[in-house]
Amino acid sequence: MENKEIVIGGEKVVPGESRLLQITIDRLPTGTLIDIPVYVVNSKRRGPVVLVQAGLHGDEINGIETVRRMLAEKKFGVNAGAIIAVPILNIFGFIHFSRDVPDGKDVNRSFPGTKTGSMASRIAYYYLSEIMHQIDYAIDLHTGGGQRHNFPQIRYTAEDERSVALAKVFNAPIAFPSKLIKGSFRNAAYKMNIPTIVFEAGESMRFDESAISQGMHGILKILKHLKMIAEVEPKYARHNETVYLERRRWLRAPTAGMFIPKSTNGSAIDKGQLLGVITDTFGKKTKKINAPFDGYICCVNHQAVVNQGEALFHVGTVKK
């Protein structure tokens, strides 16, 4: 049975066709139009439509490189269904090396958006209007922000069994349920009954080859699971022993000073274990950061100088 047409911005992509389309959003003060590039690969055979997106936060470049590399290496050449690939959703943030749009708003807190709202709200509105009603699944690629390095991890919606199943297939090193946040893309997708997972890996404005490779590995495993591709080539077919976390918390700086981690991101930890220290610049005062329980580290702050209260480690207990 032939696959359905994909229509974005009034342009049709018929079965068996691949096209680069644009969603026009706004203009720069110079008058230059800003468009969201959308690549559509529509196979002839009927199957699911999967959205793979990155750059919802403009400074999170690992996801952008993941999608770019998959396009460049023709990894989206599906033989059933269709791929909608969006390497950079937040073009404004990308060109300004910023998480947000120029008015300071977060697009990922602006869904479903409005046609006449703020810039972030309009981006969310047009994106949802043009794409979301046509997809069956969504994979949203992110990184840690502001010097925070996320160990490759999948976040899913516990209330959505299909999201839980997608997380399992993606097979990231770490996975855990995450609450739906008002205004987020995942929350909007959940309300539209679209199973969505969020892959977080690396840190903003810094390439991480492991993060990129893990992202490609997970996406390809999902495409194979959905019978959209026949095989995953060996270099992307690794198997992770996924660690599922439940009770999580941030360990914060007890004082200002120089932060020196003593544990590796992604490693198992024992209750009471020394994870890092904060010291003054004279080496006279030192504060220890110890593990509050047995579990794993899933994020480490790489900022060398920290203020009191800043998040240093994201840790969680293993789901039993």
Reduce the secondary structure of 141-196 to three states and give it as a string.
EEEECCCEEEEEEEEECCCCHHHHHHHHHHCCCEEEECCCCCCCHHHHHHHCCCCE
Q: Which residue has the tokens 């544990």?
A: 263
Q: How far apart are CA 309 and CA 320, in angstroms?
A: 30
Whether 312 has a pLDDT exceeding 80, the answer reads: yes
Q: Which range among 72-81, 99-108, 151-160, 193-202 shows the weakest confidence by mean pLDDT?
A: 99-108
Cβ atoms of 244 and 318 within 8 Å: the answer is yes
Whether 226 has a pLDDT exceeding 90, the answer reads: yes
Q: Which of 154, 228, 164 is nearest to 195 (CA)?
A: 164
Share of the chain above pLDDT 90, in %: 85
Residues 62-76: tens digit of each pLDDT: 999 999 999 999 999
2 — phi, psi (to 5°)? -75, 145
Structure tokens at 188: 């909007």
Whether 32 has a pLDDT exceeding 80, the answer reads: no
Beta strands in 28-177 (DSSP E): 33-42, 49-53, 82-86, 137-144, 148-156, 174-177
- Place 216 in a pLDDT band, splitting at 50, 70 and 90: very high
218-241 average pLDDT score = 92
Whether 102 has a pLDDT exceeding 90, the answer reads: no
Q: Which of 150, 177, 180, 151 is nearest to 165 (CA)?
A: 177
pTM of the model: 0.96
In whole angstroms, what separates CA 286 from the centre of its chain? Answer: 36
Whether 1 has a pLDDT exceeding 80, the answer reads: no
Question: Which residues does residue 243 pair with via DSSP β-bridges, in sequence order?
Answer: 174
Q: How far apart are CA 176 and CA 153, in angstroms?
A: 8
Q: Specify the pLDDT at position 284.
A: 86
Q: Which of 47, 43, 261 is nearest to 149 (CA)?
A: 261
Q: Specify the pLDDT at position 313.
A: 98
- Place 233 in a pLDDT band, splitting at 50, 70 and 90: confident
Cβ atoms of 91 and 177 within 8 Å: the answer is no
Q: Specify the pLDDT at position 283.
A: 81
117-139 average pLDDT score = 94
Q: Specify the pLDDT at position 320.
A: 81
DSSP 240-285: --PEEEEEEEEEE-SSSEEEEE-S-TT-EE-TT-EEEEEE-TTSS-
In the three-class reduction of DSSP (H, G, I as helix; E, B as strand; rest coil), residue 63 is classed as: helix
